[in-house]
Structures are given as structure tokens and as C-alpha cells.
Amino acid sequence: LSTGVSWAAFSYLKKEPDGSSKKQNVSDESSAIDPGLPKTEECPINGAMYSEPVRDIWETRRPLTAMVENHLDARPLSGISRADVVYEAVAEGGITRFLGVFYCDAAISDFRLAVIRSARVYYINWAAEYGTYPIFLHWGGANNICNSCYRGVKEQGKIASEVDAFKLLDKIGWRNGTYGNDMDGQSNLGYPALKRLPNRLSDTEDAATEHQPTAFINDVYKEAEDRGFSYVDSDGKKWNENFRQWLFTNDKPVKEEIIKDISFVFWSNKGDYDVSWKYDEENNLYKRFNGGREFVDLEYDNRQVSAKNIVIQFVKERGPVDQELHMNYDIVGKGDFLLFNNGTVTEGTWKKEGITARTAFFDEKGKEISFVRGQIWIEAIPTGNKINY
């Protein structure tokens, strides 16, 4: 196991009430915000417009980035449709995983987010784009820890240094026990912010242990505040002092030569993780399908997940790089991309100059592209894979 600490150990470390109920209500004061109020405030993450009371809430917080699994046995997920931005890449064996960025839409109301899973270095590199010390929520990660091994570390070759997530988290200063912005369900975060819900999907059958961890977003934010990571940190520094916003524009759907279908595979032998997006002309957005089925959010009555912008970010795939068969994806550097929005496609190049640098997207003329206001999905596809549209 790359997670280092056994799943069973968490029950010993973190006492929590029974989580067997499939339905667990979450409520908070923000739920009382009038949805009919004028939407005058721009979200700095994806440009979507919200009312002043929603902005007032997000300006007490910082971005929450969360590792969310996409294993077939964990579907439907809970809460993924509330992310402002979602990144998708292969985590292991052709199975994809998400990094969700939650900030503006999460200010509207509390919700459950499931299933929380382990970290990989390339997701950390994406999370590091979101200002100073963003909240990073996960359950373990690829690491070199082995309690039963000599000196507590795995044998040489078991895990490559380049994919050691804990090593990277230490390097960038996020891991600091119960004081850091790194929130790990295996070691420093438990109830009420994070707990197991074995019957989230079924009242009669427990999910496998690894498909149970569920976060409660407002409780995660409360934990972050207690650790000194609200809109400002314990030194009074705002999270967004060095944050680079993308550019945004209003809807401008094309009327002719509309791109109605986008489809691609990550790995050719993993059909359950093949993706397609179908254009909804009425709402100028794309609806997601995974493995040929509608990809829905259990938290919202199985509403189909959609996005205003689909980015195909071509990245170099390397691996397996060690005996545990970890892959690595070069998201620091540069490459090509396709952006689908407004029913059309834009080609160009992307560039990310360092771990904390913002990925920038430029069209074929070298001009930075603008995203349509609303949710953005970034699909990290191995260079050379075919995109059908």
C-alpha cells in the first residue's frame, strides 16, 4: 500500500459516531441566502457571478482543494458538482482521480464531499496554484513510510522519490501535524470534518473501507480557521496576495458548426473511465458521461455533472517509475491544449513555470485565453491520445 498507515488505524486514532446512515443532513446559516439576489460579484477562481452575501462568506475563507476518487465502485460521488474547478488525471492503473477546488460555490451552503482519497504529487502541484497555503484535503498518499520495515522506510526501489507525495508536502511546508494546511484523514483530521459513511450508497450493503471517507465542507473550513488558515493566515497574510487569476468572459455560444460531442480515453484498457462530454445548447454547457453512463452527483438527487469549460491538457506520461507501479505526469513545464466552450474549440499551448506558478493558457497567436464564466474541468490527457470531436 502506498498510503503508509492502515485503514483500520484511523478508527483507533479518531473517535467518531456511527456513520452508517445513508442520508445525513447538513445545514448552516449560508443556506438561508436568498438565491434571487442580484449576482454582481465575480468568483476569482472561475469567474462565475454570485450575490454579495455569498462573496462575504468566501472572503472569510481560502480555497479548499480536495482529492476525490473516481473508482467505479465509489460512484455516484457526492458534492463534486460544487467545485469551481476540477482536475482529472490517472491516479493508478488507468483509474482516474479528481482534484476539486472549492471556494465560491461552496460558500452558498454546506454539503458532503465523497469519496476522499490519497494524494499524488501532480495533484499537489495543481493545488499549489491556489494562493498561499490553500487547504489540501486528502486521505494518505504515495509515500516511503513502512512501520514494519528497517528504519521505518520501504526498501529502495519500492517508491521513487519523484512520486513521494509526503516528501513534496514537507518540501513546500504544508505538513505540520494539526497545525498545517495539509489535512490528512490518516493522521491529523477526523470527526466532524471527516468521517466514514459505509452506507452512503446503499442502506443494505457496506462500501469497501477505502470508498467510505466523507468530508463535511463547513466543518473542514472550521478546522482550517482553528489552524489559522481563514482568508488570512496567523501572520495576517491574505491567501490571494500572489494569486494569479485567469481571464473570464460572458457566454457567447456559436450558432453554426457547433461541437456537440467530445470523447477520449485515458488508458485504452479501462473503459469504465472513458469520458465524453455532450453539449447542451440551451444552457451553453457540456454534460459529463463516464464509461458510457451519465456522471451524476448523489448529493443533489443524481443531477448530471456539467461544465462551461472543458480543457484537454496534454501532458507527458511517465512510468511506472517504481515497484509500486506509480505513474507521473509532467504538469510543470509546457505543452498543448484544447479548450471547448461556447460550442467551439480553441487550440493553444499551456505553461506552468514552477510548483506554485499558475498554469497559463495561450491561443495560437500567443494571447491568453478567456474562460466562460462557470465551472472549469481540466482533463490531463497523455500526449498522443486521440480526442474525438
Q: Which domain CATH number covers 277?
A: 3.50.90.10
User: Quick check: is 137 in a domain?
Assistant: yes
Residues 193 and 298 reside in one and the same domain = no
Give a yes or no: residue 235 inside a domain: no
Same domain for 182 and 273, yes or no, is no
The reported pLDDT for the residue numbered 140 is 97
- Residues above pLDDT 90, as percent of the chain: 88
Phi, psi dihedrals of residue 331, rounded to the nearest 5°:
-100, -5
**pLDDT single digits (tens) 55-75:** 999 999 999 999 999 999 999
One domain for residues 200 and 275 = no
- Euclidean distance between CA atoms 335 and 188, whole angstroms: 37
Residue at 234 is within a domain: no
DSSP string for 170-193: HHTT--BTBTSSEEETTTT--TTT
Task: Report pLDDT for 152.
Answer: 85
Asked if the structure places residue 232 within a domain, the reply is no
The Cα 95–Cα 65 span in angstroms is 20
Q: pLDDT grade, residue 9 (50/70/90)?
A: very low
Dihedral of CA atoms 290, 292, 295, 298 in degrees, nearest 10, equals -120
User: Do 319 and 274 share a structural domain?
Assistant: yes
Tell me: pLDDT of 360 over 70: yes
Q: Residue 267 pLDDT more than 90?
A: yes
Q: Is residue 243 assigned to a domain? A: no
Strand-by-strand arrangement of the 194-196 sheet = 112-114, 213-216, 194-196
129 belongs to a structural domain: yes
Structural domain including 382 reads: 252-388
The model's pLDDT over 91-117, given as tens digits with 9 standing for 90+, comes to 999 999 999 999 999 999 999 999 999
Express each pLDDT in 148-207 by its tens digit: 888 888 988 899 999 999 999 999 999 999 999 999 999 999 999 999 999 999 999 999
Q: Tell me phi and psi for residue 209, to 5 degrees.
A: -50, -40
CB 185 within 8 A of CB 10: yes
Is 256 found in the same domain as 149?
no
Say whether both 19 and 109 belong to one domain: yes
- Residue 12 pLDDT greater than 50, yes or no: no
Given 226, 244, 276, which residue is the final one in a domain?
226
Domain boundary among 226, 261, 280: 226
Please check whether residues 210 and 273 belong to one and the same domain. Answer: no
**Average pLDDT for the chain:** 93
Looking at the structure of the chain, the number of domains it has is 2
Could you tell me if 213 and 314 lie in one domain? no
Q: Do 205 and 131 have their domain in common?
A: yes
Q: What confidence tens digit (pLDDT) does each residue in 133-159 have?
A: 999 999 999 999 888 888 888 988 899
Q: Report yes or no on 236 lying in a domain.
A: no
Tell me, yes or no, whether 371 and 284 share the same domain: yes
> Are 36 and 119 members of one domain?
yes
Q: Residue 213 falls within a domain, yes or no? A: yes
Q: Please write the tens of the pLDDT for every residue from 296-332.
A: 999 999 999 999 999 999 999 999 999 999 999 999 9
Indicate whether 91 and 14 sit together in one domain.
yes
- Which amino acid makes up residue 305? V
